[in-house]
A and B are shown apart, each in its own frame.
Chain A
Amino acid sequence: MSDTLQMVSRRHRLPDTLVRVVSYSATRLVALFFTAVVGIFVTILVANMGGYVDEIKRAEIRETVTLQVFTDPKIMRLPAEARERRMREMIRIGEERLGLDRPFLSRSLFYLRDALVLRLGFAERMNSDSGSRLVRNIILERLPPTLLLFVSADLLLFFASMFMALSLARQYGSVLDRIVIALAPTSAAPAWFFGIFLILIFAAVLRWLPFGGMVDVPPPDRSVAYAASVLKHMVLPVGAIVFSTIFLAVYSWRTFFLIFSSEDYVEVARAKGLPTRVIERRYILRPTLPTIITGFALGLIGIWTGAVVLETVFNWPGLGQALFRAVGLYDIPVILGATIIYAYLLAITVFILDILYALVDPRVKLSREGRP
């Protein structure tokens, strides 16, 4: 008698299901795209203070031109009328160069189009690591390290907390259970806080692991050695993220599983004589899978927001660190670009969630022609 039960029911009408999933996904994709568009447009409006930034720019141009005129002896020698005309001409050219001659609203639509296709323009003060001034390059070069760090931390956190939560739900009230509950408040402190201590212990005192960065300097040539070096550098930041969240996560999932293990159908499964492992998998995890997946995705988004400080503490060359520097330097295009990337990542996460819901929960109606 194995733990794996075969299915006796038949899933007919597979092409039909496929059509429903695809059409459902397409609808969701369009809806989410519009959400992202609205979000980005609002960001543009806010970043431009609803058009007031134009006035500031106009004033800047007038000031620059006036200064130019008064420091240019050739223009100063012209008669007053011609000088006035010259000045107006120069202001017009300056405004035209920035597109200020057209109304803000129509320009904001062009900004929106540029933002959506990631034509993010040039940074004002920052360079990308490879020396490019394009905001897109700055962001795209920084994105993979951030994804690597946070997705692996979230995966580890997710599976570790699921596993521990199930085992604690099984031994409810035990010493281990009480220890985890007692440790849950440690999650009040953010990951970077634990990061500082981890660096102190494992890098400064014990000297087992590097202080920060993503790879040894100079980077190893062979790809295996390179990967090993990256892994070594990931241990502390991942450890900080996991440590800062795991006790609370285990505590809440354990409570969640306890609640769902008192459902009538779990009782029936026990009466049927199903082994504990089958009960946990088919009767506790399976019906709660949508909630679990949501928890995973929201966890990812949640940790994401902590990236700014954590990456700075660990000197991790990610998007968070870039954003931290951009804020310090008032580099508006980079800040905008990072916001847009976050909006896209959020929309993509929600989209994947929607699809997974439809796949794991038969109760989610895929479309109007779903079975009654």
Chain B
Amino acid sequence: MSAGNGFFSVEDLRLHFRTARGPVQAVDGVSFTLDRGRALVVVGESGCGKSSLARAILRLLPRNVHAYSGSVRLNGMDVMRLPEEQFRREIRWTRLALVPQGAMNSLNPVIRVGDQAAEPLLIHGRAGSPAAARQSVQEVFHEVGVPRDFLDRYPFELSGGMRQRVALATALVTKPDLIVLDEPTSALDVLTQAGIMNLLKTIKRETRTNFVLITHDIAAASEIADDAAVMYAGQLVETSRAEQFYREPLHPYSRALMASVPTLRAEKTLEFIPGRPPSLINPPPGCRFADRCPYRFDKCSEEPPMLKVDNRLVKCWLYR
């Protein structure tokens, strides 16, 4: 992943939440680099901090932030250093956009979807007039397969798949550099999922937009992945080119994760990983996967560094 121009990069990103029982280390030192026009898939099980990673990248911080540090570079500029107001005017949606989790609740129920899609254009001065904004929204709607006249509808008048398409269209309307997709298809049926995934593939090919796709659905994500990252207990444990990752995952956790994905032709027993991820409040020292790892040895009580294997990175002592 480090070979290219590094259009988008995240370094040592941390997002800790304050709770009654102590700080939760939801994102704890995440780093990755993404080249122009590529899509990164971040996979991991529920509660591993995937959605928090999306929030941290987009600076959508909840009220109970304990710590927020690191850097998010977009074409060389560290956007985390920008003051909030400047970030809002110059970065939000025009350069970094979001397709949120769960199409059901991500649209304002009492505003027509066309108006919601046009907001970024109007607020960031990307459309000369409401008529021009309407025109642009109609074009993007058409692009993602939403009938043009749906613009005048309310969210409750659309199906789940249509709503997710509208959410996608809303993200595309300002032609941002990077779109973070947070579980964009997890609430949809398989057919609709496939439709959305194909759409994302087309958009990526045609617009060279960068995607960070956060999902637990490794199989569906393989459709558009160029790079892959595996997240476990708030940290990335492996980053790699997608072809290599899907062919041969390195980290024991990645392997277990892959073994749990059903495949059609190969005869295999689906596996699950015994045990549970560690609490993100005071996680144990050393490798966070050690407790559940079948390859555990004494070295694992120390925290492993990101080790380079060929052109891949893996956080595991086995590869030293």
Residues of A that sit less than 8 Å from B by CB: 1, 5-12, 172-173, 262-265, 267-275, 278, 282-283, 286-287, 289, 360-363, 371-372
Q: Which of B245-275 contact A (CB under 8 A)?
A: none
Interface CB pairs A-B, < 8 A, 12: A1-B125, A5-B123, A6-B133, A12-B152, A172-B63, A265-B109, A267-B100, A268-B100, A272-B123, A273-B91, A286-B110, A362-B154
Most A Cβ at <10 Å: residue of B107, B110, B120, B133: B110
| B110, closest chain A residue (CB) | A287
Do the beta carbons of B106 and A272 come within 8 Å of each other? no
With A5-B122, A268-B106 given, is the CB distance from A363 to B130 under 8 Å? no
Give the complex CA separation of A8 and B135 in angstroms: 9
Do the beta carbons of B108 and A265 come within 8 Å of each other? yes
| B109, closest chain A residue (CB) | A287
Do the beta carbons of A267 and B60 come within 8 Å of each other? yes
The 9 closest A-B pairs by CB, nearest first: A273-B92, A9-B112, A8-B134, A264-B105, A9-B114, A6-B130, A271-B98, A8-B118, A265-B108
Contacts of B119 in A (CB 8 A): 5, 269, 272, 274
Contacts of B201 in A (CB 8 A): none
* Any A CB within 8 A of the CB of B233: no
Give the complex CA separation of A278 and B152 in angstroms: 20
Do the beta carbons of B151 and A8 come within 8 Å of each other? yes
| B114, closest chain A residue (CB) | A9
Give the complex CA separation of A282 and B106 in angstroms: 14
Contacts of B62 in A (CB 8 A): 262
* Any A CB within 8 A of the CB of B45: no
| A5, closest chain B residue (CB) | B122
Do the beta carbons of A287 and B108 come within 8 Å of each other? yes
* Any A CB within 8 A of the CB of B225: no
Residues of B that sit less than 8 Å from A by CB: 58, 60, 62-63, 88-89, 91-94, 96-98, 100-102, 105-112, 114-115, 118-120, 122-125, 130-131, 133-134, 137, 151-152, 154, 156-157, 167, 170
> Smallest Cβ distance from A259 to chain B, in angstroms?
12
With A271-B93, A287-B109, A287-B110 given, is the CB distance from A1 to B123 under 8 Å? yes
Give the complex CA separation of A1 and B122 in angstroms: 8
Give the complex CA separation of A268 and B107 in angstroms: 8
Give the complex CA separation of A11 and B112 in angstroms: 10
Contacts of A172 in B (CB 8 A): 63
Give the complex CA separation of A283 and B111 in angstroms: 9
Give the complex CA separation of A23 and B60 in angstroms: 45
Contacts of B124 in A (CB 8 A): 1, 273
Do the beta carbons of B151 and A9 come within 8 Å of each other? yes
Do the beta carbons of B60 and A9 come within 8 Å of each other? no
> Smallest Cβ distance from B11 to chain A, in angstroms?
22
> Smallest Cβ distance from B144 to chain A, in angstroms?
16
Do the beta carbons of B110 and A9 come within 8 Å of each other? no
Do the beta carbons of A275 and B109 come within 8 Å of each other? no
> Smallest Cβ distance from B67 to chain A, in angstroms?
17
Give the complex CA separation of A289 and B133 in angstroms: 27
Contacts of A11 in B (CB 8 A): 152
Give the complex CA separation of A371 and B100 in angstroms: 27
Do the beta carbons of B115 and A272 come within 8 Å of each other? no
Contacts of B101 in A (CB 8 A): 264
With A172-B63, A267-B100, A363-B154 given, is the CB distance from A275 to B123 under 8 Å? yes
Contacts of B156 in A (CB 8 A): 362-363
| B122, closest chain A residue (CB) | A5
Give the complex CA separation of A12 and B91 in angstroms: 35
Contacts of B108 in A (CB 8 A): 265, 269, 282-283, 286-287
Give the complex CA separation of A261 and B125 in angstroms: 25
With A8-B151, A265-B106, A287-B109 given, is the CB distance from A272 to B93 under 8 Å? yes
Given contacts A173-B63, A271-B97, 8 further A-B contacts (CB under 8 A): A11-B152, A262-B62, A273-B89, A273-B91, A273-B120, A273-B124, A278-B123, A362-B156
Do the beta carbons of B110 and A363 come within 8 Å of each other? yes
Give the complex CA separation of A1 and B124 in angstroms: 7
| B108, closest chain A residue (CB) | A265
| A265, closest chain B residue (CB) | B108
Give the complex CA separation of A259 and B213 in angstroms: 28
With A274-B123, A286-B110, A372-B157 given, is the CB distance from A10 to B152 under 8 Å? yes
Contacts of A271 in B (CB 8 A): 58, 60, 92-93, 96-98, 100
Contacts of B133 in A (CB 8 A): 6, 8
| A7, closest chain B residue (CB) | B115
Do the beta carbons of B109 and A363 come within 8 Å of each other? yes
Give the complex CA separation of A262 and B112 in angstroms: 21
Give the complex CA separation of A1 and B127 in angstroms: 11
Give the complex CA separation of A361 and B156 in angstroms: 12
Contacts of A12 in B (CB 8 A): 152
Give the complex CA separation of A329 and B119 in angstroms: 64
Contacts of B114 in A (CB 8 A): 8-9
Do the beta carbons of A263 and B105 come within 8 Å of each other? yes
Contacts of B105 in A (CB 8 A): 263-265
With A1-B125, A264-B102 given, is the CB distance from A272 to B92 under 8 Å? yes
Give the complex CA separation of A119 and B122 in angstroms: 59
Give the complex CA separation of A162 and B116 in angstroms: 25
Contacts of A372 in B (CB 8 A): 157
Contacts of B157 in A (CB 8 A): 371-372
| A258, closest chain B residue (CB) | B63
Contacts of B60 in A (CB 8 A): 267, 270-271
Give the complex CA separation of A138 and B173 in angstroms: 65
> Smallest Cβ distance from B169 to chain A, in angstroms?
13
| A11, closest chain B residue (CB) | B152
